[in-house]
Structure 1
Amino acid sequence: MPKVAAAAGRAKAQSTPDAIASRISLTEAAALVDAPEIELKRAERWGYIKRGTKGQYSTPSLIAGFCRYLASGEMTVADAALLIGNSAVWAKKLIDAGYIARNTRGNVIRTDVVQGHIRFLRDEERRTSLVQNESGLRAARQREVELRIAERERELVPRDEAEAAMDVVVGKVNAEMNGLAARVTRDIEMRTKIETEVHASLQRISEALEAGSENLASGGADAAADTEDDA
């Protein structure tokens, strides 16, 4: 870590006899290790560094202790939350769920925080994918059951097949009716009357089939309305 190396370099530079014997204040110590005084106090509170009897620090002891503090990666839960870009409440949830462990002081270690957060994100991704797959599977099974029931109750007829069946019937009716007049009589006047009636009948049949096709396309709404009217 850059801070550890820098602190170690300063410790070496301060290793002269005069430096070893020197005692420095909190402000001087913070400047020496290039850290805020509050962080230096934290390292002291957690036992990484100690002050002398006059409330001052021994330079070599300070540098060595601060290096241990930085290398440990120990941090508060609030700092851990900042590290992963979330709230302290969220960080505590990760701790409670076992993704991040606390030490005896109730603090956490930086590497544990990062690794635990990554594990949580991977687990959450797997859970989301599993839920989506299960939801899609349930929907597909439900659809299959509905189709099977409709098929057994003879309610399931594909639209294109129904229209094809009607086309066959219409074609056969047209073929039979168009030759009806010629088969019935050779009298031109009578044949003309028959052909007129046949044409009118075919026209009505065509209109009825067209209405039926539109009703089929709309899902049978017209048929349902007719049923309610008859009732």
Structure 2
Amino acid sequence: MSNEEDIGDDQPPAGDRFVSVTEFAAFADYTATYIRQLQREGSLPRGGRGMIPFIAGVRALIRFLRDSERRSSKSAADSRVRDARAREIELRNLENEKRLVEIEDVNGLVDEMVGTFRSELAGLSARVTRDLTFRRTIDQALNDILNRLADAFNEKANLLGARSAAAGPVQASDPGRLGIGEPHLSAHGGNTGTA
């Protein structure tokens, strides 16, 4: 066989031997059903009944695989371009509808709202009672609520992927928890100096 022979030639080269479709499928590591399907589509040559010319079949299979790879690669590239265009249009529409916001702006707004909420709750026990034991009970209940809320907010932020790297997670044990580290007031409003 010379190098001048055209691989695209559908005619079996001189001296090509015929093998059964089953043997050819085993050689090519495909099923016989798939090889027969390629023969019906015209991608592989046919021999006599249940036969295929070996060399012409190998050449045709290589040509088919190359073409499939090219089509697949082109199709994948076209798909990526279509997806990118669709995303660009989607973002432009969201921006026009005033529904597109920077995640840092959203995180800043949430931080501000939660901070205001926490600071309002900080004086609740003192406004409710002068009884120090009851204040501690109220502060503990509020801390428990805030801890559960911090866990829930962190879980939602993880699910949404919206947590800013700069902001970091909400920590339930951050300084500023209600009633922790603050001097307790006596019934007359003075500092008792005990925790």
Q: Is this a same-fold pair by TM over 0.5?
A: no
Larger Rg: 1
Q: Report the structure, 1 or 2, having the larger helix content.
A: 1
Q: TM-score, normalised by structure 2?
A: 0.44
